[in-house]
Amino acid sequence: MFHNIDSKPIPSLLRNFSAPVKLEYLYTQEELYFLMVHDTDGFNRWNAGQSLASQVITSLQSGESDEIDKASAVISKAFKLILNDSLNKKEVDKAMLAHILELPTEGALIEQAELAVVDDIHIARESVANFLSTDLKADFAEVFNSNFSEGIFSIESEDMARRALKNISLNYLVRSGDSHWIEKCFHQFTQADNMTDQLAALRFLMIYSEKHCREEADQALHMFYDQWKHEPLVVDQWFVTQALYPGKESLERVKALCNHQAFDIKNPNKVRSLIGVFSSQNHVQFHQGGGEGYEFLADSIIQLDQINPQIAARMMTPLTRWKKFDHKRQALMQAQLQRIKETPNLSKDVFEVAEKSTVL
């Protein structure tokens, strides 16, 4: 029994608890905001931020205008205080703050949904991110500038944290479409003395190239490949960056890259970097309503099965999760699983996965 408490306590649950536990507790948005801003347990603070953002994105999907306005105001206020902490508190963990400022991935949001409507999830998440990038542009700009350094590259933890916070700020700033920040991003790409900054800038230019910076993105892609084409593991990241591109022509780009001189379907790293990333992380394009992404993955699996059955079997995971999606997509995914299963001379590895995943 507690006495002389003026307000209802907000529990910070499972503090310092590292085991993989899923605990359901119905926090309100105001309670999540409080934990995100004030909790002293780093993981709980991050988790509160993820939960709050998920609730806001769900509110957008529901389409209730009152809830949308309220939710947007709450998350904007929370993000603003996090950004202010990074500027005003000397002992702040900038690496943790950088993680807190990341919205939940589309993959995480799909996992949380009972029935995942991919297009709605993508649109809602993009709306929240766009709102934050516009509403807090001045704050993100101040954080970027305060963490920008022209000093010698260092792998000290403080410097790594500073780069993380700078780059998450740059992400939101490029998203805003402001030509000044697109230029800043391209400058970071060309002048970077470390892979963290160069690759981050490349990905921001690529992700937002459909709306804001196509010329800069295309130029950066060519420059990056020319610089690193003799480093196979770095070229893998070049493939990953393009596989994540959310624009409408993403699938055609991936298909074209399968014929690129640097791609080798016999190389598992290349397969995972291009085909694997597209099918498991580029949700809005892989789950196109016509099923083209499913067909592409099935074609790739059938081809790969003759070369490396183990990798082919692992690549089937996105299709095996068909129950998570709407009836139309379920039918399209089932059709490709059935086609794979009926392929002559199919390996045991792939057949077992297809057999367990088909309903016919």
pLDDT digits (tens, 9 = 90+) for 84-100: 988 888 888 899 999 99
Q: What is the mean pLDDT of residues 29-34?
A: 92
Q: Is it the case that residue 274 has pLDDT exceeding 80?
A: yes
Q: How far apart are CA 32 and CA 27, in angstroms?
A: 6
Q: How far apart are CA 309 and CA 273, in angstroms?
A: 17
pLDDT for position 327: 93
pLDDT one-digit tens code per residue, 104-125: 999 999 999 889 999 999 999 9
Confidence of residue 150 (pLDDT cuts 50, 70, 90): confident
Residue with the larger pLDDT of the pair 272 and 62: 272
Q: Is it the case that residue 261 has pLDDT exceeding 80?
A: yes
Q: Is it the case that residue 62 has pLDDT exceeding 80?
A: no
- Give the pair of three-digit tokens for residue 50: 């993820």
Q: Is it the case that residue 56 has pLDDT exceeding 70?
A: yes
Q: Is it the case that residue 266 has pLDDT exceeding 90?
A: yes
Domains and CATH numbers, the chain: 229-360 (1.25.50.10)
pLDDT for position 120: 93
pLDDT for position 282: 97
Q: Is it the case that residue 250 has pLDDT exceeding 80?
A: yes
Q: Is it the case that residue 269 has pLDDT exceeding 90?
A: yes
Q: What is the mean pLDDT of residues 138-146?
A: 95
Angle of helix 292-305 relative to helix 250-257, nearest 10 degrees, comes to 20
Residue with the larger pLDDT of the pair 295 and 8: 295
pLDDT for position 212: 86
pLDDT for position 211: 86
Q: Is it the case that residue 64 has pLDDT exceeding 80?
A: no
pLDDT for position 21: 83
Q: What is the mean pLDDT of residues 228-252?
A: 96
Q: What is the mean pLDDT of residues 127-141?
A: 94
Q: Is it the case that residue 257 has pLDDT exceeding 90?
A: yes
pLDDT for position 68: 67
pLDDT for position 36: 94
pLDDT for position 306: 95
Q: How far apart are CA 195 and CA 279, in angstroms?
A: 25
Q: What is the mean pLDDT of residues 179-187?
A: 96
Q: Do the Cβ atoms of 39 and 81 come closer than 8 Å?
A: no
Q: What is the mean pLDDT of residues 274-300?
A: 96
Q: How far apart are CA 111 and CA 121, in angstroms?
A: 11
Q: Do the Cβ atoms of 92 and 99 come closer than 8 Å?
A: no
pLDDT for position 1: 65
Q: How far apart are CA 189 and CA 257, in angstroms?
A: 22
At position 349, the amino acid (one-letter code) is D
Q: Is it the case that residue 61 has pLDDT exceeding 90?
A: no
**Predicted model pTM:** 0.91
Q: What is the mean pLDDT of residues 161-181?
A: 95
Q: Is it the case that residue 63 has pLDDT exceeding 80?
A: no
Q: Is it the case that residue 198 has pLDDT exceeding 90?
A: yes
Q: Is it the case that residue 339 has pLDDT exceeding 90?
A: yes
Q: Do the Cβ atoms of 331 and 319 come closer than 8 Å?
A: no
Residue with the larger pLDDT of the pair 282 and 91: 282
- Mean residue pLDDT of the chain comes to 92
pLDDT for position 134: 93
